[in-house]
Amino acid sequence: MDANERAFINARLIDPAQELDMLGTVLIRDGLIVAVGTDIALPDTAETLDCTGLALLPGLIDMQVFTGEPGEEHRETLATASQAAAAGGVTHMVVMPNTTPAIDDAALVDFISRRARGTAMVRVHPMAAITKNCEGQIMTEFGLLREAGAVAFTDGDRAVMNALTMRRALSYASNFDALIVQHALDLDLQSAGVMHEGELATRLGLAGIPIAAETAMIDRDIRLVELTGARYHISQISSAESVEAVRQAKARGLAVSCAVSATHLMLNENDVENYRTFAKLNPPLRSEDDRLALVDGLADGTIDVIVSGHNPQDAEAKRQPFAQAAYGTVGVETLLAGLLSLHHAHGVDIATLIRAVTIRPAELLDIDGGTIKPGSAADFSLVDMDAPWIVDAEALKSKSKNAAIEGRKLQGRVEACFVNGQTIFDSKMETIK
């Protein structure tokens, strides 16, 4: 029996890139997928694995993962983030540049890539900063950063506030067909706000963040996209008004895309009740009407991508009065289960959900992945689509345990995950690399 040749039989094959949803077989050899279908002649040398009751999905691409490496490894390292990713069926992590120092020159992009190859069990793709130190002032060298391996440009969780700087960034990026990713939140309008502006914030005595802080930035940037012809992506949207702004931009033929976090699809502002700091997110959780509008925007194709927004924070950073607590939640390990819960609870088409975490981010970032087509790398997961479980933050593999959906009942769990045909996670054996 050839250890490099394996056949996964009787699996539910789901691959939106091929418009595929059927029972069948996947044959892999030497780390590549060589055949997908229902009538595959299996070689005698192949190891055969019966996947009855399981779905076989392309490895997920998480387009927004914050880590603490370099500089704040106590929060998360590339290694620990990759362990969480593997347990969640994520085989590609796109990491943000908000580190210490920021990923704003070619040497640091190369450092992340080399460090990931040495310590991470999944594929790691760095985004690079739009501006030096992500401070919104001096532009970085996009050409050199792109050559070094940067897949897109963003200041991470900081908006580029200066309109002229953003115009120049979009113009510069258009020369390379590079993607500019913006955290759409006007800092002046946000001011001291820490949660969604509304009746609940008033009752809790907390300063609110108006929806206009998000939409004003989106409206400005869409105008700049019209001027420059660049590709522009909003890292996360959180409101019904933002969904409509993106919908209209797409109707005008602009190269505008956006993402939403799985957490914002599951939770709303009421989860901040009792000053729960684990639910302090940026952008903030908004009203239930906004959450439902996000679900609808995903279902109709306005929203392109679902991200985890994985932003680990240590216990001390969250164990503060709400106004002083750090923003963020871990989420890369629960990304798939979260979106499967949307399928079960809201009836969102499974192909739409899987597309938003596979082939669509691959298209936007121009990276190989997000499919199980023959000839592609054997990056995929085996998933029990209906398995119920409850999120226990302490059991998550992330170094930090700040899970906004702690205690949440989810449906759907990864049983095994593979990169280049090698098992990197098995639920029965835990992480095995």
Write the pLDDT tens digit of every residue in 346-383: 899 999 999 999 999 999 999 999 999 999 999 999 99
Give the distance, in angstroms, between the CA of residue 144 and the centroid of all CA atoms in the same chain: 25
With helix as H, strand as E and coil as C, how does 239-252 read? CHHHHHHHHHHHHC
Residues 6+ apart with CB under 8 A from 316: none
Distance CA 38, CA 59 (A): 21
Q: What is the rounded (10 degree) CA torsion for 404, 407, 410, 413?
A: 90
Residues 6+ apart with CB under 8 A from 395: none
Q: What are the tokens at 306? A: 């679902």
Domains in the chain with CATH codes: 2-56+376-384+411-431 (2.30.40.10), 59-365 (3.20.20.140)
Task: Give the 3-state secondary structure of residue 332.
Answer: coil
Distance CA 253, CA 270 (A): 36
According to DSSP, the residues that pair with 388 across neighbouring strands are: 411
Angle of CA points 35, 14, 310, to nearest 5°: 115
Distance CA 58, CA 358 (A): 7
The reply to whether the predicted model has a pTM over 0.85 is: yes
- Beta-strand relationship, 123-126 and 153-154: unpaired
Q: Is 41 exposed, middle or buried (0-12, 13-18, 19+ CB in 10 A)?
A: exposed
Residues 6+ apart with CB under 8 A from 421: 4, 6, 28, 29, 30, 31, 32, 378
Q: What is the pLDDT of residue 3?
A: 55
At 127, the amino acid letter reads M
C-alpha pair distances (Å), 307 with each of 122, 263, 354, 361: 16, 9, 12, 9
Q: Which parts of 96-182 are beta strand (E)?
A: 123-126, 153-154, 179-182
Task: Assess contact for 321 and 76: CB atoms under 8 A.
Answer: no
Q: What is the pLDDT of residue 430?
A: 58
Task: Give the 3-state secondary structure of residue 7.
Answer: strand
Tokens 């991508």 sit on residue: 305
Q: What is the pLDDT of residue 208?
A: 98
Q: Show the low-confidence residues of the chain (pLDDT under 70).
A: 1-3, 429-433
Output b/e per residue, 299-330; b: 16+ Cβ within 10 A: beebbbbbbbbbbbbbeebbeeebeebbbbbb
Q: What is the pLDDT of residue 181?
A: 98
Q: What is the pLDDT of residue 4?
A: 82
Task: Give the 3-state secondary structure of residue 154.
Answer: strand
Helices of type H across 133-278: 142-148, 163-174, 187-190, 199-204, 212-228, 240-251, 262-266
Distance CA 433, CA 423 (A): 8
